[in-house]
């Protein structure tokens, strides 16, 4: 059973530490432990191991976490994306054991598949898998992995010389695996996002989730058409709440306008994520993401303007939100989303 009161209390604690975590760049271990206590590590995992929360409800919970801390929300969604790929790999022999350990928070995971989707696509494969007698040997780079140093394993993908792909569970402690220090990001430093270098890393059959196949992600099931939007909505809500706390005429005027726009966008996102809006969702995805990102930029910068010089201090939540809004412009953004975003930025 969902612990609503306990969840709300955990969100309050997460909100209180979000800016300090961002400034210090410290891993939010206490905040993740709080989420474990309210059952969050079980939400994305189906029965009999977890709770199997329906996708739309799961994403509205992500939205609430993002309103408290975008960093904590990103860490959880990356972990849950890894969980979902494991769950959908029904032919993987270690599937049940891994899901059970993840549901009980006895192991932590993250995902590193951007080299197969949006990153390093112009310069050839970033991570190469060479066939071996008893598996594969990996060489190259996983360019984006959130919380890698705190994960027991990374769900990642690589390309074979014949252009087929494999998807695998990579134990962080395998010989040849080197996790870089956290990247010097302008925001979300507490997510410990970084690169992972692989030098002659041997994978046996027990590590392979899927493949070799032409596109190992082609059958990836997504419960909602654009999950990133829910985290962006959460950031918008955080900015609106901060503006509401300014308690000035300018703040009141701003918050009324932003609240109306946010509510309209949330209704659109919920409709497109429902069975009734499923047919419209693919065509509307890029525009909707760009519209929500645009609101996040404007609302967070309005908060900076209202709080004036104090909002230029890294310790101020308005400064954190403004920097986090930039993350939304680059996170898993395919060409159509970038085009729509540039259209918004070029509007006069």
Summarised one tens digit per residue, pLDDT across range 35-46 is 999 999 999 999
Cα 306–330–293 angle (5° rounding)? 45
The angle that helices 281-307 and 317-328 make with each other, rounded to 10 degrees, is: 150
The 3-state DSSP composition of the chain as helix, strand, coil percent (nearest 5) reads 55, 15, 30
Q: Residues 110-213: name the CATH superfamily.
A: Butyryl-CoA Dehydrogenase, subunit A, domain 2 (2.40.110.10)
Provide the pLDDT for residue 92. 85
pTM greater than the 0.75 cutoff: yes
Provide the pLDDT for residue 86. 93
CATH code of 228-346, in short, is 1.20.140.10
Provide the pLDDT for residue 229. 93
Q: Examine residue 48 and say whether the peptide bond preceding it is cis (omega within 30 degrees of 0).
A: yes
Do 110-213 and 228-346 show the same overall fold? no
Tens digit of pLDDT for each residue in 227-276? Answer: 889 999 999 999 999 999 988 888 888 899 999 999 999 999 999 988 88
226 pLDDT higher than 80: no
209 pLDDT higher than 60: yes
298 pLDDT higher than 80: yes
Provide the pLDDT for residue 136. 95
Q: For a pLDDT cut of 70, what percent of the chain falls above it?
A: 96
Q: How confident is the model at residue 224 (pLDDT cuts 50, 70, 90)?
A: low
CATH of 4-103 among 1.20.1300.10, 1.20.1070.10, 1.10.540.10, 2.40.50.140: 1.10.540.10
d(CA 70, CA 321): 9
Q: For a pLDDT cut of 90, what percent of the chain falls above it?
A: 72
When pLDDT is averaged across residues 118-142 and rounded to a whole number, the result is 83
Least confident of 15-24, 129-138, 164-173, 248-257: 248-257
Q: How confident is the model at residue 225 (pLDDT cuts 50, 70, 90)?
A: low
Segment (H or E) for 40? none
> Considering Cα of 16, then 20, then 21, then 22, what sign does the dihedral take?
positive
Provide the pLDDT for residue 223. 62
Q: What is the mean pLDDT of the chain?
A: 91
Tens digit of pLDDT for each residue in 54-99? Answer: 999 999 999 999 999 999 999 999 999 999 999 988 888 889 999 9
122 pLDDT higher than 70: no
129 pLDDT higher than 90: yes
Provide the pLDDT for residue 278. 83
Provide the pLDDT for residue 78. 95
| Strand runs labelled E in the chain | 109-112, 127-132, 135-145, 153-159, 165-171, 177-179, 194-203, 208-213
123 pLDDT higher than 70: no
When pLDDT is averaged across residues 17-22 and rounded to a whole number, the result is 95
- The residue with greater pLDDT, 124 or 66, is 66
Q: How confident is the model at residue 118 (pLDDT cuts 50, 70, 90)?
A: low
Q: How confident is the model at residue 338 (pLDDT cuts 50, 70, 90)?
A: confident
How many CB atoms are located within 10 Å of the residue 94 CB? 15
Tokens of 27: 């891993």
Tens digit of pLDDT for each residue in 165-190? Answer: 999 999 999 999 999 999 999 999 99
Q: Parse the chain into domains and list their residue ranges.
A: 4-103, 110-213, 228-346
Task: Let me know: does 170 contact 203? Beta carbons within 8 Å.
Answer: yes
């Amino acid at each position: 059973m969902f612990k609503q009161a306990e969840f709300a209390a955990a969100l309050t604690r997460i909100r209180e530490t979000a800016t300090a975590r961002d400034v210090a760049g410290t891993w939010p271990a206490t905040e993740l432990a709080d989420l474990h206590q309210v059952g969050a590590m079980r939400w994305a995992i189906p029965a009999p191991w977890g709770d199997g929360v329906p996708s739309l409800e799961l994403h509205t919970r992500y939205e609430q976490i993002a309103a408290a801390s975008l960093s904590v929300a990103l860490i959880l969604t990356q972990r849950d994306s890894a969980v979902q790929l494991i769950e959908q790999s029904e032919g993987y022999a270690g599937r049940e054991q891994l899901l059970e350990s993840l549901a009980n928070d006895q192991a932590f995971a993250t995902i590193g598949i951007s080299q197969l989707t949006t990153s390093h696509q112009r310069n050839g494969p970033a991570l190469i898998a060479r066939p071996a007698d008893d598996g594969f040997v990996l060489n190259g780079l996983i360019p984006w992995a959130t919380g890698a140093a705190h994960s027991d394993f990374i769900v990642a993908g690589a390309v074979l010389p014949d252009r087929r792909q494999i998807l695998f569970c990579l134990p962080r402690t395998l010989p040849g695996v080197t996790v870089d220090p956290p990247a010097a990001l302008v925001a979300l430093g507490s997510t410990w996002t970084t690169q992972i270098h692989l030098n002659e890393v041997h994978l046996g059959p027990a590590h392979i989730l899927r493949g070799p196949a032409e596109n190992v992600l082609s059958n990836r099931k997504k419960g909602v058409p654009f999950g990133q939007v829910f985290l962006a909505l959460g950031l918008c809500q955080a900015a609106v709440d901060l503006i509401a706390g300014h308690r000035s005429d300018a703040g009141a005027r701003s918050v009324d306008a932003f609240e109306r726009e946010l509510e309209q966008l949330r209704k659109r996102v919920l409709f497109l994520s429902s069975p009734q809006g499923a047919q419209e969702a693919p065509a509307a995805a890029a525009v909707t993401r760009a519209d929500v990102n645009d609101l996040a930029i404007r609302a967070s910068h309005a908060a900076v303007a209202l709080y004036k010089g104090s909002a230029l201090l890294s310790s101020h939540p308005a400064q954190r939100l403004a920097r986090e809004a930039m993350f939304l412009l680059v996170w898993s953004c395919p060409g159509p989303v970038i085009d729509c975003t540039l259209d918004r930025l070029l509007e006069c």
